[in-house]
């Protein structure tokens, strides 16, 4: 992770978790509710930006791909957007576990790549 943003990681993970929880609901509602699809794109866009600021290019790229699945002239590929969102959740869950481990042991997180 880049320089002095590491102290922001717990806050980022908390906010990202909230956004991802909303995304799960919004993506399931998006087929029937165009407003839910718009809000899902906004959540993905915000998460993408926050991830980039934290130096988490893989997460940002996945969010960008999910965002792209939801735009265009044809029907949105909500299934692929949901799959990409689940991958983001897996990555951030791994990071949260590393942060939790660090807090318990006082050691630096291992196995977490940005």
Residue 85 Cα distances to 7, 27, 96, 102, 105, angstroms:
25, 9, 16, 26, 30
Residues 6+ apart with CB under 8 A from 16: 47, 50, 51, 92
Residue 17 Cα distances to 20, 26, 41, 53, 71, angstroms:
5, 14, 16, 16, 23
What angle in degrees, to the nearest 10, is found between the helix axes of 34-53 and 78-105? 40
Cβ(63)–Cβ(56) under 8 Å? no
Q: Which CATH superfamily is 8-103 part of?
A: HPT domain (1.20.120.160)
Give the rounded distance of the alpha carbon of 109 from its chain centre: 20
pLDDT digits (tens, 9 = 90+) for 16-45: 999 999 999 999 999 899 899 999 999 999
First to last CA, the chain: 6
Name the token pair of 84. Answer: 């990409």
Predicted confidence (pLDDT) at residue 52 exceeds the cutoff of 60: yes
pLDDT band at 70 (very low <50, low <70, confident <90, very high): confident
What's the pTM value of the predicted model, to 2 decimals? 0.83
């Amino acid at each position: 992770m880049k320089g002095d943003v590491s102290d922001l990681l717990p806050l980022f993970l908390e906010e990202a978790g909230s956004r991802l929880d909303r995304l799960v609901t919004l993506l399931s509602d998006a087929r029937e509710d165009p407003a839910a699809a718009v809000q899902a794109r906004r959540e993905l866009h915000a998460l993408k930006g926050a991830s980039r600021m934290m130096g988490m290019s893989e997460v940002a790229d996945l969010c960008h791909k999910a965002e792209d699945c939801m735009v265009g002239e044809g029907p949105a590929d909500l299934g692929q957007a949901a799959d990409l969102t689940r991958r983001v959740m897996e990555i951030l869950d791994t990071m949260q576990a590393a942060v939790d481990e660090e807090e318990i042991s006082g050691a630096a997180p291992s196995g977490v790549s940005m």
